[in-house]
Amino acid sequence: MDKALKTMIDNMPEKTGKSLDEWKKVLASKSFAKHSEAVNFLKTDHGVTHGFANTIVTLSKGENEAPEDLVKAQYQGKEDLKKIHDELIEVVRKFGNDVTVTPKKGSVSIIRKRQFALIKPATKTRIDLGLKLVGKELTPRLENSGPFGTMCSHRVQLSNVNQIDNELEGWLKEAYEMSK
C-alpha cells in the first residue's frame, strides 16, 4: 500500500471520528448512483473533508478494488505508460505530506485541499495530465483541458517519461500551490 494512503487511513479515526471500516459500514447502509454523491454525503452530513471523503468512497467500492488494483487495471496493455505515471507521482510527493493520491477506475486524482492534477491513460501511447491552473495562459504544450472539462483547466499530453521536465514540474507545483 502507498505510504501516504496508509498514513491517511491510520489518521482517519482522529481526523474524521471513525475508522475506514466504520465509514464503509456507513456507506453500505446507503445507495449512491455516483461517486460524487457519496463524497458529498460524507462532506455534508458528516463534516468529512474532501480528501478523506474521496478516499473513503474510493476504498469502499469493494475489497477487490484496492487502489493498487485500480492503477494496475488502468495500465493493462499500456505498461510503458506506467513509468510516466510513477514519475508524476514521485514529483508530486516531493511537494509536501499534504498530497493525497486517489486512484479511481479510469484516472488518478492528485489532491491537496482540492484536486490540482489528474493522471489519465488516454490511449495506449499517451497519458493526459490534467492541471487546475485557473487563469494560466495556454501554450502549444499547456493546452485547453480538453476531455477533462471543468475538472481541470489545462492538459498536457505525455508519451515519454522525458517529457516530465522542469517546465512540467513547475506547472504541477503551481497547481499544487493554487490548491491550498
Residue 76: burial class (beta carbons within 10 Å; 0-12, 13-18, 19+)? exposed
Strand 115-123 and strand 126-131: the pairing is: antiparallel
Beta strand pairing status for 154-158 and 143-144?
antiparallel
Residue 63's pLDDT band, with cuts at 50, 70 and 90, is very low
- pLDDT for 31 equals 77
pLDDT attached to residue 163? 98
* Helix (H) or strand (E) segment spanning residue 70: helix 67-74
Q: Among 3-7, 10-14, 159-163, whose mean pLDDT is lowest?
A: 3-7
**Mean pLDDT, residues 161-175 taken together:** 98
Q: What pTM was estimated for this model as a whole? A: 0.67
Place of cell 478523506: 52
CA 99 to mean position of chain CA atoms: 9
Measure Cα distances from 9 to 1, 21, 35, 51, 168 in Å. Answer: 11, 10, 19, 11, 30
Q: Is the pLDDT of residue 137 over 70?
A: yes
27 — pLDDT class (breaks 50, 70, 90): confident
Q: What is the pLDDT of residues 77-113, one digit of tens each?
A: 999 999 999 999 999 999 998 998 888 888 999 999 8
d(CA 103, CA 141): 25
Query: Which pLDDT belongs to residue 134?
Result: 93
Mean per-residue pLDDT for 42-61?
A: 90
With beta carbons less than 8 A apart as the criterion, state whether 28 and 60 touch.
yes
Average per-residue pLDDT in the chain?
A: 90
Percentages (nearest 5) of helix, strand, coil residues in the chain: 50, 15, 35
Q: What is the structure's pLDDT at 149?
A: 83
Residue that wins the pLDDT comparison between 169 and 51? 169
Average pLDDT over residues 63-71: 66
Q: Do the Cβ atoms of 4 and 97 come closer than 8 Å? A: yes
Q: Which of 179, 32, 16 shows the shortest CA–CA distance to 98?
A: 179
